[in-house]
Amino acid sequence: MTGTDHAAIERIDLLAELIGINSVNPQQAGPRSGPGGEAAIAAWLAERAEQAGAAEVMVDEVEPGRPNVYAHFPGSGGGPTVCVDVHLDTVGVEHMTIDPFAAEVSDGKVFGRGSVDTKATLAVVLPVLAELSRSGALTADVHLIGTVSEEAGGLAGAYRMRDWAERSRRHFDRVIVAEPTLCAPVHGHPGGMGMEITVRGEAAHSSKPHLGRNAIVAAARIIVALQAEQDILAAGPATTAVGPGSLAVTEIGGGLARNIIPDHCTLYAGRRVAPGEDPEAEYARLRAVIEGAAGDCEVEVALANGRCSSAFYEDPAAPLVTDLCHLTGTGPATATYGSNALVYRPIASEIVVFGPGSIDQAHKAVEWVEISELDRAADAYRRLLGTP
């Protein structure tokens, strides 16, 4: 067996271990997953980072039973300070048609929940850091970070990590946020906000609707008004490669009974903002649109998780982007999804989103990553962090 073959087998074995650790985000847990949470995978990462040669490992409880992990691998060559951020949670598994936690290897792929989003990066980076640390070839000063609450919960782990970095006066030359990008450096994606909308009307007998105020009818008017806003966005110009913003209503609930005029209805609408858009100003504007469409019903609008985020955008000519393009034979890319990159601008000189595999395989009933993608990512990290 060659050294290359051994390294590839080690990556696959590590990924299989990680898939076997249930780290479903608690907000998406169900009967099949149980309560979920990141405690077990955080403990795994802390132990394995020490074994790989980390000089310091810190476990930081963000919420009860949900810790971030900060592992520091000092470089020996005066290279840049690099943070590799990997979110530890996965989406839910209730809809999966394979065993989510029994990693299967076949047809050049590794199957299981988190295989591509985004446990693959941990399986790639840990062996690379161990190899470079042992040989003295780790030139970059590396912080490997595991964060909680990326898939749901308002990026709480990323905000906590940023606070930790600011308190400890750490500023990173380069931050790499792990997501499946087919090993292309993603230099931009939308920011946004979630709007939790509650419409309140007045109940009445359904045979006399004029005596009540129908909250569902008011909600329908709000949906039509928000869809008109989306039509305007879709027809508008894009100022960057990220494209225009978007708006979608994705949840609705309400009604008391079939013979009662409904006195309440709830909606959820997500607004993705493009680079250059002011999310707070857009939130205020959309609140006015919603209130105007509600008619004779009362309406409350609240920001989901209490926050909104500007878009993430890095210059495609930034050195980190061009270095990764050179190392992987790819070009600069953008994404439609969001990531922890939205949070890190105050603590980073350069940021990219980068990782093996395709987002097209994420969150699906059958999730997988190609083994060749793991190999390509490992080669890129080895050359980016170590002696050329």
**Please, what sign has the CA dihedral across residues 275, 279, 285, 288?**
positive
pLDDT score of 120 more than 90: yes
Which pair of tokens denotes residue 329? 């034979």
Task: Specify the DSSP class assigned to residue 238.
Answer: P
Sheet strands (E) in 201-254: 246-254
Reported confidence tier of residue 207, pLDDT bands at 50, 70, 90: very high
pTM of the model as a whole: 0.94
Residue 5 pLDDT: 82
pLDDT score of 341 more than 60: yes
Residue 388 pLDDT: 64
Residue 119 pLDDT: 98
Reported confidence tier of residue 3, pLDDT bands at 50, 70, 90: low
CA distances (Å), 347 to each of 81, 169, 193, 270, 291, in order? 11, 9, 22, 27, 38
CATH 3.40.50.300 correct for 3-188+311-385: no
Sketch the domain layout of the chain as residue ranges: 3-188+311-385, 191-306
Residue 1 pLDDT: 43
Instruction: Identify any residues that bridge with 56 across adjacent strands, giving them in sequence order.
Output: 72
Which pair of tokens denotes residue 173? 């030359």
Per-residue pLDDT tens over the stretch 63-99 = 999 999 999 999 987 899 999 999 999 999 999 999 9
Secondary structure of residue 187 in the 3-state scheme: strand
Report which residue type is found at 295: G
Contact status, residue 151 vs residue 141, Cβ threshold 8 Å: no
CA distances (Å), 240 to each of 62, 124, 268, 282, 323, in order? 35, 32, 27, 18, 21
Contact status, residue 146 vs residue 83, Cβ threshold 8 Å: no
Mean pLDDT across the chain, nearest whole number?
96
| Percent of the residues in the chain that have a pLDDT greater than 90, as a whole number | 97
Q: CA 52 from chain center: how many Å?
A: 26
Per-residue pLDDT tens over the stretch 211-261 = 999 999 999 999 999 999 999 999 999 999 999 999 999 999 999 999 999
Q: Fold for 191-306, please state it.
A: Alpha-Beta Plaits (3.30.70)
Report which residue type is found at 221: R
The structure tokens 């709480």 sit at 156
pLDDT score of 210 more than 50: yes
